[in-house]
Chain A
């Protein structure tokens, strides 16, 4: 079972460059989300989606865009990378609802220089 797959695992960008972090899940989950993990701050929600065609902002959405054209895929786009976006990014999926477990990808370590 692939579960949640993120690519790439590592990336170095120059300030001002753009890129897309890929996330795909094969569990037919409706709910998908992107988090960033920074030391001492836990995981903070960037954007989330409750189904294909529906997205919404999380706690720290500035500088990021998302779209959800299929149930399986939920890419995260950095429009113009900044050093403050250096972080580890995690994609997660779940069936949705209050009691359900979230499944996480392995993460993407992004460095912006």
Chain B
């Protein structure tokens, strides 16, 4: 079945460092890909998405490119801030119902 694999965390970075969180997927058909973010004590919220191969999603300085050839959707940010500390989830939609399949989540901690 469809699945999503994320790099293990936690990831600890200093402010202004470059961030990459790896995400790869297995899916039949042509899923849409998402990154969700969960700030402490809150629910998940959409960070960015891409709906077809070679699409680049971007938001708040984060970006990710849908790579069909490598089945990847890695999240990047050029300069992280303390306020980016959160748990990041990669996800894909499975089938026409829009069911989401999530990766394990990666905790990011940014230190001043």
User: Count of A residues near B, CB < 8 Å?
Assistant: 28
Q: In residues 74-108 of chain B, which contact A (Cβ within 8 Å)?
A: 89, 93, 95-105
Chain B residue nearest in CB terms to A107: B43
Q: Kindly identify which residue among B44, B45, B51 contacts A99, using a CB–CB cutoff of 8 Å.
A: B51
Inter-chain residue pair count (beta carbon < 8 A): 68
Known: A98-B93, A104-B45, A105-B43. A42 touches B51 (CB 8 A): no
| 0/1 string, B9-50, CB within 8 A of A gives 1 | 000000000000000000000111010100000111110010
Across-interface contacts of B44 in A (CB, < 8 A): 43, 90, 92, 102, 104
B43 near A104 with CB under 8 A, answer: yes
Q: How far is the CB of A77 from chain B (nearest CB, A)?
A: 21
Chain A residue nearest in CB terms to B43: A104
CA distance A94 to B46 in the complex (A): 12
Is A53 at the interface (CB under 8 A from chain B)?
Answer: no
CA distance A104 to B96 in the complex (A): 19
Q: Kindly identify which residue among A43, A48, A98, A107 contacts B102, using a CB–CB cutoff of 8 Å.
A: A43
Is A41 at the interface (CB under 8 A from chain B)?
Answer: yes
Across-interface contacts of A40 in B (CB, < 8 A): 104-105
| 0/1 string, A11-50, CB within 8 A of B gives 1 | 0000000000000000000010101000011111100101
Chain B contact residues, CB within 8 Å of chain A: 4, 6, 30-32, 34, 36, 42-46, 49, 51, 89, 93, 95-105
Given A43-B105, A94-B98, 15 other A-B contacts at CB below 8 A? A31-B97, A42-B89, A44-B102, A45-B101, A48-B99, A58-B99, A90-B44, A92-B100, A98-B32, A98-B51, A98-B95, A102-B46, A102-B100, A104-B36, A106-B42
